[in-house]
């Protein structure tokens, strides 16, 4: 599959644009996925050919770029964190560049460092965008904990100019984000459905908002579903474990099923 993707390069939305755009276009292109794929294949197989591919193609596939978001569309930061493991733990000198770029990403998140540029809400939540912001918060927390693990196992640290950032600092920041999501926030609300005493009741999710087949055994046509979208009643099916889009940059949240950016 990887060889096919590398040989026949292109973004899926080039041919499926009318179906997937504008919501799921491949805005970042395909270079990040090629480097991401090669990195994971090397990690899983230890096949030297993938490391050769990374070293030969990394510079043209985004290795020299600093990027500050990790998402379903853009894998560049995740790739750099993953490859930094090879430098920190396996001492592969050719991968030092990825450790440098990972540090740049980490430093951008840490208040007080010379490279700090992230935005946080008054309540302390990392804020990357108005639409489904918690997808970025959760992926960032994951990278913070992953990199902290790599640093701990190698005795390393992140260099932010004259500031040294330790694994403990990264774990602390990740924990603050998780605690916020689970209820330690100005609204005193858990943004994980089914967790805690207070969580959103009007989740933007078709299966959760439509009545159960036991209550409504007949099929519901597509257009008939809008009455449930606009209903003020709580979702009849609790989507346990789902994390919502979350509050805005002022910690305000609207428990409104039609507000898909937040719910």
Q: Domain check: are 55 and 89 in the same one?
A: no
Tokens of 103: 């540090």
Tokens of 199: 């969580």
The answer for 166, left when phi > 0, alpha when psi is -120 to 50, beta otherwise, is beta
Q: Domain check: are 56 and 103 in the same one?
A: no
Asked if residue 79 belongs to a domain, the reply is no
In three-state secondary structure terms, 236 is: coil
> Which of 182, 217, 251 is the endpoint of a domain?
182
4: enclosing H helix or E strand: helix 2-7
CA distance 195 to 48: 44
> Which of 182, 204, 228 is the endpoint of a domain?
182
* Helix orientation angle between 167-181 and 134-154, rounded to the nearest 10 degrees: 150
Q: Domain check: are 30 and 6 in the same one?
A: yes
In three-state secondary structure terms, 159 is: strand
Place of tokens 């693990």: 149
Catalytically active residues, by annotation: 204
In three-state secondary structure terms, 243 is: strand
| Radius of gyration over every alpha carbon of the chain, rounded to an integer in angstroms | 21
Count of structural domains within the chain:
3
Domain span holding position 117: 84-182
Place of tokens 């489904």: 132
CA distance 250 to 247: 7
Q: Along the 263 residues of the chain, how does pLDDT read in single tens digits?
A: 999 999 999 998 888 888 889 888 888 899 999 999 999 999 999 999 999 999 999 999 988 888 888 999 999 999 999 999 999 999 999 999 999 999 999 999 999 999 999 999 999 999 998 789 999 999 999 999 999 999 999 999 999 999 999 999 999 999 999 999 999 999 999 999 999 999 999 999 999 999 988 999 999 988 898 999 999 999 999 999 999 999 999 999 999 999 999 99
CA distance 53 to 94: 12
Q: How far is CA 221 from the centre of its chain?
A: 34
């Amino acid at each position: 599959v990887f060889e096919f993707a590398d040989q026949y390069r292109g973004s899926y939305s080039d041919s499926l644009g009318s179906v997937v755009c504008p919501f799921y276009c491949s805005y970042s292109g395909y270079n990040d996925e090629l480097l991401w794929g090669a990195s994971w294949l090397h990690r899983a197989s230890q096949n030297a050919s993938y490391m050769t591919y990374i070293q030969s193609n990394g510079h043209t596939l985004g290795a020299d770029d600093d990027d500050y978001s990790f998402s379903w569309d853009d894998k560049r930061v995740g790739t750099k964190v993953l490859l930094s493991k090879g430098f920190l733990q396996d001492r592969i000198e050719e991968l030092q560049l990825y450790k440098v770029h990972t540090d740049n990403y980490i430093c951008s998140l840490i208040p007080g460092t010379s490279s700090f540029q992230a935005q946080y809400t008054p309540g302390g939540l990392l804020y990357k965008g108005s639409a489904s912001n918690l997808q970025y918060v959760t992926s960032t927390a994951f990278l913070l904990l992953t990199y902290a693990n790599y640093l701990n196992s190698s005795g390393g640290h992140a260099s932010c100019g004259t500031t040294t950032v330790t694994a403990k600092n990264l774990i602390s920041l990740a924990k603050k984000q998780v605690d916020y999501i689970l209820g330690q926030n100005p609204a005193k609300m858990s943004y994980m459905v089914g967790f805690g005493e207070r969580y959103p009741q009007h989740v933007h999710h078709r299966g959760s908002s439509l009545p159960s087949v036991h209550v409504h055994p007949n099929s519901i046509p597509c257009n008939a579903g809008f009455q449930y979208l606009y209903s003020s009643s709580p979702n009849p099916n609790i989507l346990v474990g789902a994390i919502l889009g979350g509050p805005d940059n002022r910690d305000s949240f609207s428990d409104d099923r039609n507000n898909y950016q937040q719910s």
